[in-house]
Structures are given as C-alpha cells and as structure tokens.
Amino acid sequence: MASGGMSPSSIPPLGEYLTALPSVSWDPLKLPANYSLTPGAQARVRTDLRHFYQDPPVGIVVSPVPDQFGKLYAAISGPPDTPYEGGFFIFYIAFSQDYPLSPPRVRLLTTGNGSVRFGPNLYANGKVCLSILGTWSGPQWTPTQSLTSVLLSIQSLMSEEPYYNEPGYENHINQIASKNYNETIKHETLRCAVCDVVERLVKYPDDIYDIIKVTFLEQYNDYIDTCDNNSSKDGSPMHGHNHVLQASRFQYQHIKTRLEALKAQLS
C-alpha cells in the first residue's frame, strides 16, 4: 500500500459517507405533479441545446422528448481504453424548474434492470453520484454549468480504474482488486450496455437507436474478440468493490451468442 493510504477497515462505510451529503431530489422519473420550466429556464435550456448541437462532444448524443420540453435522453459511449469501452450508456434527464439555478436530474437507465452498479458513482438504481448534481461531495453546481458540462462530467466517471472513484480509495492502492473490478465492469458493459441496449431492453428513442446500430456493427469484431479472449473466465464468480459476487458468473459465450444474433438481425 502506498504511503498515506488507508486500510479498508479505516475507510468509513459508504452509507455513512452518503448520509453526510445534502438530501436532493435526484430522480427525473419522480418529478412533482406541477412540473414545468419557468420562462427563464426554457430559454436557458434552448441555449444549452443549441450549444450542444453546434459542438457535440465525442461519443455523446442527445434526444429531447417530444412534447415534454425540459426532458431528454442521452447516450454516452464508453471511452476507449477503459472497461466501459464499446458500451452505450443511456441516461434520462429532466432540467430543474428553475434551471440553471439548480442542476438537472439525471438517471442512468443502463443498469441490467436494476442489477448492475457500473462503478462507485453509477448506482444500480440509476442514481448518478456527481458533485455538480448535488449527489456527491466536491464542487457544487453553479449556473455557469451546462448540459454539455454535465454530460462530459458523467463521461469522465467512466475511467480506466473506477475502483479508485470510491471515497477514501484514492490512495488505497490495490492493483488486484482494481483489475478484478475492471473485469466485472468490462463483462457487464458487453452484457448490459451493448446487448441489452441494442436488443432494446432499455427504453430510449429511435433516433439514438439508429446511431447505436451503426456503431454496433462497426465495433462488432471488437466485441467478438473480447468474448473470445475472455471465454476462459466463464463460470467464475465476478468481483464487486472488495467483495465476490457469488451469484454473478462470467458468461462470455452466452454474450457472444447474443452478439451474433444481433449481427444477423441488423445486417
């Protein structure tokens, strides 16, 4: 362990850490019955969308919900050289009624039907823990933030070693645990953020699907290579953050079968 690191026993439980954070209404699926944006908020959302379309970030697309101004879907591609690479992570976003005075609400929809936590900041219930959203410690939201900055901040959570995103683990060097965690996320990215998304087990708009279909076919050979290179792990238990997921086993051969079926369907 590196000098200054913390042992697992000295790190406060995550639940204890989170209770110290301010309580916020984070879920865009649980908006108040009278949800509507102020005229100022509507103007700012239009500005944010215009800026996004003028200079879209690499690997990110958005699709506003028709007839529901202030709500939209976003798809973020897993960055290269991370365990998220090749995945399509779908988010549902609702701007706050007083935007930009308050941050938008964001929910991750790519969760394996609520079964997969894609890192310390991306919960299985869809919660995105990010300081500018008010759901994590650190620099808080300011009106100078925008839709683009929020999406880029979320994309940055998909890092090369997400194991160290956990509070207190920044200096707790554990290469084996980090590698095991990456292997789990890589597998679940293929299973949930590729297969589930392309099979439309996750709800999202058709215009995003059209983009994902093309990208899937472009990356198909890479997906198959990943399955072939990791098939020896099949049947072994996967690892969560510092614990073994006894009920979750690697199943690359099954994923490969799903990928082949999708390729045949889309070709």
Active site residues: 129
How far is CA 105 from each of CA 57, 201, 248, rounded to the nearest angstrom? 20, 22, 30
Contact 212, 200 (CB under 8 A): no
Contact 91, 76 (CB under 8 A): yes
68, with CB counted inside 10 A (0-12, 13-18, 19+), is: exposed
CA distance 165 to 149: 19
CA distance 172 to 166: 10
Please tell me whether residue 246 adopts helix, strand or coil conformation. Answer: strand
CA distance 36 to 97: 6
